């Protein structure tokens, strides 16, 4: 009878050990689930930030293209002014040359 009692005690001990093991496994699964949910939230946050950065980059690119177009227009206007200034200077210099030649005669 003691042998049967020992066997029953060992079975009870094994059952307790198995229950503890299952409890630990459930706790581990719960912790992994929390970690997974945290990682998912972080991933969602990073994805949102990347999307926002892409939008910002598109806006910056559009602004840069607009600024480049403005700069090209200004360059064209400056070239036109330079040409006009040269023409005016040429006219003034020719007058001065003519005035000089009249004075020398």
In three-state form (DSSP H/G/I as H, E/B as E, the rest C), the secondary structure along 12-71 is HHHHHHHHHHHHHHHHHHHHHHHHHHHHHHHHHHHHHHHHHHHHHHHHHHHHHHHHHHHH
Residue 101 has pLDDT above 80, yes or no: no
Per-residue tokens: 54 = 């892409």
The pLDDT tens digits for 19-42 are: 999 999 999 999 999 999 999 999
- What average pLDDT score do residues 45-50 get? 98
Whole-model pTM?
0.57
Residue 3 neighbours by CB under 8 Å, 6+ apart: none
pLDDT band at 46 (very low <50, low <70, confident <90, very high): very high
């Amino acid at each position: 009878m003691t042998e049967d009692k020992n066997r029953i005690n060992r079975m009870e001990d094994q059952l307790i050990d198995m229950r503890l093991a299952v409890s630990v496994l459930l706790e581990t699964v719960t912790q992994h689930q929390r970690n997974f949910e945290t990682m998912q939230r972080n991933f969602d946050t990073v994805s949102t930030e990347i999307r926002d950065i892409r939008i910002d980059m598109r806006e910056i690119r559009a602004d840069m293209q607009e600024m480049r177009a403005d700069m090209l227009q200004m360059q064209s206007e400056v070239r036109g002014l330079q040409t006009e200034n040269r023409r005016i200077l040429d006219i003034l210099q020719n007058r001065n040359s003519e005035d000089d030649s009249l004075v020398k005669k």
